[in-house]
Structure 1
């Protein structure tokens, strides 16, 4: 077993001290007395042992104090997580502190990278939200100026621009409400009201609700035969309804405008249901798939479309599913379509 740092230094010091004593003893006795080797042979082991233990004690205490400074610096010297080497010193202290400091260094590097990512995300988020708010605000400003410049006198213009103003105001209200909802979901303030409900009936209800919007985009919604009337789930029905609406709405916006098909299916998956919402739309580039649940995120291809919306729908979906302690994933191929899959607990 290799010696610890303090023991190694103490051993070297003891050897040097013993050699020095031996040389001094020989010089003195050769100069003034007749040299007698017996006392030297007796004192050498005693001096070696004494020098070793004293040196080990002093160096051990010295190293311990220095290590305490290091651990205080990296915030580890607390009663509940005091490093083992400050309690029992059976291994090389310097090796241990080296590994601890390296680990601490890696953790700090990781924290710095995460902070950089958060800072970049914050800048992007602020830019996105300012853009989303700026559009309806400028629209409202334009409508109001038009009315002030004489539009109020024309009943048709008056009514038309007031309706457009209302639409822009509603867009801002929806954006603020969705931001508030995400904040509540992230902070845990939004309490889920779980209940047992018929998954088939809920899906059918949402399809009926979204059917007209889908038809306006030349899209039809199909309920796959894998979903039947006996399927019952345990979740917050209102929130799961919102998940379906957001996913179908997303599929309509980015679907195939020349004949879109949205297929909803459901399968037994252990003690859960696996629900899938599939479209045959523009798809998502592979390098962008990991970002689809980010707030305000849109691919460049989807930005070119007049899709409307706040860009928060998928972020809300992800938060709702995770609040149920379930999972959601996405797979997509550009030009072929996208499939969102999420799990729900069986009742």
Structure 2
């Protein structure tokens, strides 16, 4: 049995022309009684009806579907596209056109979802940015107003307020520098000065330089057993230093008293080295993990703000590592600890 689901315009024209010509031929045979007249009528009428129906059907489909495809692609048709609309589209079944429209609708739906997420991210980013600037600016304004309203006469108050003002101005300067650095990294304007260096030596150096802060919480630092053998990487040493300082300092901030910070270095397959910094601190909830590298994102806004910083550190780290053509990752379990790692290129023969 002939399926009417995916009929082409030619098939529709043939079926309709056959139906009309057969009925007229039968009528001629009944009333005239001549089979050759009926056969001649059948052939002539079928031919004429077929081409007439096909012509008008193609014109109808061409005009309607052309508008649909122009709406889908939202472009002015070139001569090649006009040929496609005129000769290819009319041969498509309605189901094929419907499938094209459904694909377009699904694509647009995905684009709308992405736009909604980007809009939500933009609003959240602007709110966080406004908050980060508002806090030190209001503090500076309060200190200056108090000084201008008579507090300058008291030397102790004047000194304390000016020191607090200087700290808040310094916070604003750091915030602006961090945002400027992220912008340059995103635009690819930060030049990387790559060199070969032993990554374990840099980690030990940073453990030493941060030792005063680490001893405040009696945190022990180490390189994981089996990872002590020197591994040379090819990267911008100062940029990697910046990344490691941020990761070690975060491990200190959110690590427990008398806890541990452990660095691991692994040679992976190919030309990469994996570097990880682990702590046994408070950890991060699963729902926060995909977003911790976003600008200003905090897993616990109040607690994180008390720890200091503007929430830009991990975002800068991510951009630095991506500028090297590498990637960052995070693993964490609440009350167990967090591991943040990144890859670097292996030693290169210069």
TM-score, with normalisation over the residues of structure 1?
Answer: 0.88
The aligned counterpart of 1:5 is 8
Contact 1:133 1:172 in 2 (8 A): yes
For 2:328 and 2:212, the matched residues in 1 are separated by 27
Q: Which deviations, in whole Å up to 9, do the C-alpha atoms of 1:110-142 show, x marking residues without a partner?
A: 111111111111111111111111111122122
The aligned counterpart of 2:328 is 328
Give the number of aligned pairs. Answer: 341
Cα drift, residue 194 of structure 1: 2.6
Instruction: Map 1:109-148 onto structure 2 (within 5 A).
Output: 109-148=109-148
Cα drift, residue 300 of structure 1: 2.5
**Which residue of 70, 73, 85 corresponds with 1:72?**
70
For 1:213 and 1:188, the matched residues in 2 are separated by 33
The aligned counterpart of 2:182 is 182
Matched, 1:341 2:341: yes
For 1:317 and 1:229, the matched residues in 2 are separated by 25
Cα drift, residue 108 of structure 1: 0.7
For 1:84 and 1:219, the matched residues in 2 are separated by 70
The aligned counterpart of 1:285 is 285
1:81–1:157 CA distance, 2 compared to 1 (3 A):
farther
Segments of structure 2 that go 5 or more residues without pairing to the other structure are none
Q: Which deviations, in whole Å up to 9, do the C-alpha atoms of 1:78-134 show, x marking residues without a partner?
A: 569959786547964322211111011011111111111111111111111111111
Matched, 1:267 2:270: no
Cα drift, residue 182 of structure 1: 1.6
Matched, 1:48 2:46: yes
The aligned counterpart of 2:319 is 319
Q: Which deviations, in whole Å up to 9, do the C-alpha atoms of 1:256-289 show, x marking residues without a partner?
A: 1x21321111011112111110011111111221
User: Secondary structure, in 3 states, of the residue corresponding to 2:144?
Assistant: helix
**Which residue of 19, 26, 44 corresponds with 1:16?**
19
1:250–1:304 CA distance, 2 compared to 1 (3 A):
closer
Contact 1:211 1:220 in 2 (8 A): no
